[in-house]
Amino acid sequence: MNVQQMLQAIADDEDKVVNALCEMLKIKAVGPENGGTGEGERGDFLLSLAKQLGFDDVELYESEDPRVPSGRRPNIVIRVKGSADTTIWVVTHMDIVPEGDLSAWNSPPYEPKVMDGRVYARGAEDNGQDLIASLYGLAAIVRAGVTPECNIGLAFVSDEEYGNTHGIDFLLNKGIFKKDDLIVVPDHGYADGSAIAVVEKSVAWIRVVVVGRQTHGSTPDNGINAFEVSARFLADCMDQLRAKFSKSDELFDPPQSTFVPSKCEANGPNINTVPGRQEFACDFRVLPDYDVEDIMSLMKAVAGEHEKTTGAKIELSFLDRSVSAGKTSPDAEVVKRLRRAITAVGGFDAKPIGIGGATCANPFRREGLDAVAWSTIPGTGHDANEYVEISGLMFDAKVYAVMFAGANIGGG
């Protein structure tokens, strides 16, 4: 069998692949933080599907979690032996976020709908498509009798949407991933599959509370206007942050760190009161060169000056933060192999990029592993009417098959 024949074999399987995705998406897999019962049932479905597809090395790693009915969160690891010792992993997650506002959906989120070359359902993109694509990509080469160039591991994990404790971190602690392993996490992507994310910015969400003193709107000198203090502090802060943390890196789009004041809370119902309290929040995405603690320190220093001149109190706290674990080299083996496979299947070159959001490639990079985020997705995850293109599903399955086979399959 050569590459072209294998790609054709996968294309011939399209109905089966789409059907497997739909069957899986019928099973709700929401974590307990979001009021769900976890991934147990979906895990059982995938275990039997893996068996049906002929995989014999399938292991179940369960993390104890008393909050779900079964008391356990499943993690499934499928392995196929290759001719080299390194393992290439595709790590996808079984859990999904809830459907959100049901009235915004055109069809029921847990009754997958195939229409106009798309599959609509909650979890279709995040992370259903590439879980199924990796499974059928691997099944295709095994069925064709092709030995993968490296060992291949597929990990279907739990708990990605809330902290990774019972999923990726649990498997990392169990020592499942080895030092030289190569990791692909289909947790980010462009609609044309042309972007391989090798680094991400750190994310810091910061809450600001300004406490002044409320008074009548006609006698502002009797109070301290928390709204006006906020405005002056914010303007000063943004200027100083952008001036001090001004590096740029062309891997990213936009290349600089971004400092965005975003959410502002209401400060009172009426116009004729000087507000005594103002609360707002900021969304900062900073290059990995910077420490988010240094950003907080600068904000605190600026706040101190404004407190001194106004008599207001300015309280700052992190609402959330995700510290970037640095970069996987754009020349790393995992980038090269994936890029080659994308070119072989799609006839174009995918570029290594940096992204502004946190992905679950980060925990792997923190452990010193080379990890990239890639997939071919429309960007509908977490939305109402979440969908994937069947063409993207099939493209990714083919890319995985070619990447897994590597040099052990001829062209033609």
Closer Cβ to Zn ion, 149 or 187, answer by number: 187
Q: Which residue is nearest to Zn ion (CB)?
A: 126
C-alpha distances out from residue 345 to 6, 8, 10, 373, Å: 11, 11, 12, 18
Smallest distance from Zn ion to CB 169, Å: 16
Cβ-proximal residues to 39 (8 Å cutoff; 6+ apart), any chain:
29, 31, 73, 74, 94, 95, 158, 159
Binding to Zn ion in span 34-63, by CB under 5 A: none
C-alpha distances out from residue 385 to 102, 321, 399, 404, Å: 10, 29, 26, 32
Closer Cβ to Zn ion, 39 or 126, answer by number: 126
Closer Cβ to Zn ion, 75 or 225, answer by number: 75
Closer Cβ to Zn ion, 46 or 332, answer by number: 46
> How many helices (DSSP H) and strands (DSSP E) are in the chain?
10, 17
CA–CA gap between residue 32 and residue 10 (Å, rounded): 36
Closer Cβ to Zn ion, 68 or 358, answer by number: 358
Closer Cβ to Zn ion, 126 or 130, answer by number: 126
Closer Cβ to Zn ion, 126 or 370, answer by number: 126
Joined tokens for residue 107:
């069809």
CB 24 within 8 A of CB 76: no
Smallest distance from Zn ion to CB 362, Å: 14
Smallest distance from Zn ion to CB 163, Å: 12
Q: Where are the beta strands (DSSP E) in 113-222?
A: 113-115, 118-120, 150-157, 182-185, 195-200, 202-211, 215-216
CB 73 within 8 A of CB 165: no
Closer Cβ to Zn ion, 294 or 320, answer by number: 320
Smallest distance from Zn ion to CB 12, Å: 31
Smallest distance from Zn ion to CB 73, Å: 16
Closer Cβ to Zn ion, 126 or 389, answer by number: 126
Binding residue count for Zn ion, defined by CB under 5 A: 1
Smallest distance from Zn ion to CB 96, Å: 7
Joined tokens for residue 23:
């069957």
Assign 158 to helix, strand or coil.
Answer: coil
Binding to Zn ion in span 119-178, by CB under 5 A: 126
Binding to Zn ion in span 89-128, by CB under 5 A: 126
CB 39 within 8 A of CB 128: no
CA–CA gap between residue 244 and residue 299 (Å, rounded): 11
Smallest distance from Zn ion to CB 97, Å: 6
Closer Cβ to Zn ion, 370 or 386, answer by number: 386
Smallest distance from Zn ion to CB 18, Å: 21
- Helical ranges in 105-167 per DSSP H: 129-143
CA–CA gap between residue 126 and residue 186 (Å, rounded): 9
Query: What's the DSSP call for residue 239?
Result: H
Smallest distance from Zn ion to CB 219, Å: 51
What's phi and psi for 178, nearest 5 deg?
A: -100, 160
What's phi and psi for 128, nearest 5 deg?
A: -60, -50
CA–CA gap between residue 335 and residue 351 (Å, rounded): 9
Smallest distance from Zn ion to CB 92, Å: 11
CA–CA gap between residue 245 and residue 36 (Å, rounded): 41
Assign 190 to helix, strand or coil.
Answer: strand
Q: Which residues bind Zn ion (CB under 5 A)?
A: 126
